Amino acid sequence: MSSDLVLTKHARWSGARGPLVLAILDGVGIGAGDEADAVKLARTPTLDRLWAPGVRTQLRAHGTAVGLPSDDDMGNSEVGHNALGAGVVHVQGAALVGRAIASGALFEGATWRELIERCRRHRSGLHFIGLLSDGNVHSHVDHLEALLAGAVRAGVERVYAHVLLDGRDVPPHSALTYLERLEAFLAGLRSGGVEARIASGGGRMQVTMDRYEADWRIVERGWQAHVLGLGRRFPSARVAVETLRAESPGIIDQDLPPFVIGDPDADAGAGAPVAPIRDGDAVVLFNFRGDRAIELSRAFDDDEFDKFDRVRRPDVIYAGMMEYDGDLHIPRRYLVSPPQIERTMGEMLARTGVPQLAISETQKYGHVTYFWNGNKSGMFDDATETYVEIPSDRVPFEQRPWMKAAEITDRLIAELRGGRHRLARVNYANGDMVGHTGNFDAAVVAVEAVDLQLARLVRVVDELGGVLVVTADHGNADEMYQRKKDGSIERDRHSGVPVAKTSHTLNPVPLTIHDPARGDRYEIDPARADGAGIASVTATCLELLGFQAPAEFAQSLVRFR
């Protein structure tokens, strides 16, 4: 075992008698406190008690603080949990892809050349599947356009886009804006004699982008539309969106059902699908984030596959924008190498022999395991690690905003009372998953549901002589309405009703430490906390456990007296 993976004891602190519990309130940031702030307007007596007065501060969870290109980029669960688990800020997918495109390295890579050669040799289609927006969380439309243009420059004669509509990391009814931009771009390519079209699509929560095997039917719907060309046909993506919106008033982009683009020359676009994926083609999943890309990658790559009936598995070269799982090496081919995240908190604790628990419901289970461990599946040490997944409901989150918070806490309390774990990390998904629906009232209930569970958790941590650290990976429920440039809330011109916001925020997140036995033995260091990001939570937790944090970690926020 490498000695640099084994933690050393802290010189001045031996740790609490009981376990340290790190509770991540996903999507619960510190907002403006006005009518857009569901966190502030929720009844949260436990959070209020933990926050004032106490060992507390605010942390940055967006932009450069979590490895994103600029401070205009909102944080997200991937980079947030990478930072929390690693204790170090790594340059993340969006920036890595942008650099590879700008430098030309992507187009010089072996995988890209293989894709191009396949299409040129067979005069076949190069298909791009991914999220169509500039949210910069899973993908960016700039990247798609660069790939399309690069393929045409290299001599590919047929390029197709299979578009997943966002409405989650961008405004909830913004799909037509991105479709108009893409259609104009494709028209420019067609003017040069290239066949360039949108071939299929659908909302991201209904089509293709499932994660953590929560609902393989989502991937199956995507396979049927993208690969088989099966589904309701329309003459264009615009007509598809307008028709589906008219049939389900109020539906937001992420929930739109799948659609297939038929021959535009046929009556009402009901002719043959313009571009199902066929033998000899090549396929790129242009999302750079891994969690919602793994399952489609498996559907293309796995020889043995039993998640749904693929009907046919075309003979194609398939590549992801990045390698989405560094342990399982999913997919087999990729265009840009992901960040190499080593020496994570979880691995060091495992190599030091410290028993630890990771627990959440399905929707965030991979956040406290896969992302936490540096985009790696599996455990570092079966003997000391316990991973618990509570199955999520398969219903719209606004219908059950309490989600599985109570069931998570039930199991967490049982595990803590078992006396095995020195560290337990838990993610409560409610603030984020319900925040993404744009339903303000449901978001309030979601935050209140988490607060109820924190009250239970506080009592057990106190009973066991432990420490509770509460933070978040990014904001969401703290800003449920869109804002204008001047910061005021945007309202519908006709009704005056605030315009819903479904994306993450740029707001800071809380960090508070509950330790009844603390006395005056340690405190938050104001100088360290000033401008700190969530990566500092890692070293903070290690020190509270009684270990010296590695020198390369973002500095601990506590100062021992």
Label residues 16-51 b or e (16+ Cβ within 10 Å = b). bebbbbbbbbbbbbbbeeeebbbbbbbebebbeebe
Instruction: Quote the CA–CA distance of 545 and 559 in Å, as a whole number.
Output: 14
Q: What is the DSSP string of 514-532?
A: E-TT-TTSEEE-HHHHTT-
Which listed residue (3, 70, 77, 191) is catalytic? 77
Max CA distance (Å), the chain? 78
Instruction: Quote the CA–CA distance of 422 and 354 in Å, as a whole number.
Output: 7
DSSP state of 136: S
Is residue 212 within 8 Å of 218, Cβ to Cβ?
no
Backbone angles phi, psi at 77, to 5 degrees: -70, -35
Please give the order of strands across the beta sheet that includes 385-390. Answer: 55-59, 509-514, 467-471, 20-25, 423-428, 356-361, 385-390
Amino acid, res. 245: R
Which tokens sit at 502?
């479904």
Strands 522-524 and 423-428 come out as unpaired
Instruction: Quote the CA–CA distance of 152 and 476 in Å, as a whole number.
Output: 39
Instruction: Quote the CA–CA distance of 295 and 297 in Å, as a whole number.
Output: 5
Backbone angles phi, psi at 414, to 5 degrees: -60, -45
Element (H, E) at 149: helix 141-153
Residues near 351 by Cβ (< 8 Å), separated by ≥ 6? 1, 2, 5, 6, 380, 381
- Short-list 292, 218, 211, CA closest to 255: 218
Is 77 labeled as catalytic in the residue annotation? Answer: yes
Which tokens sit at 50?
């933990």
- Short-list 444, 472, 436, 399, CA closest to 35: 444
DSSP state of 557: S
Is residue 338 within 8 Å of 96, Cβ to Cβ?
yes
- Short-list 217, 152, 86, CA closest to 536: 86
Point out the residues that are catalytic: 77
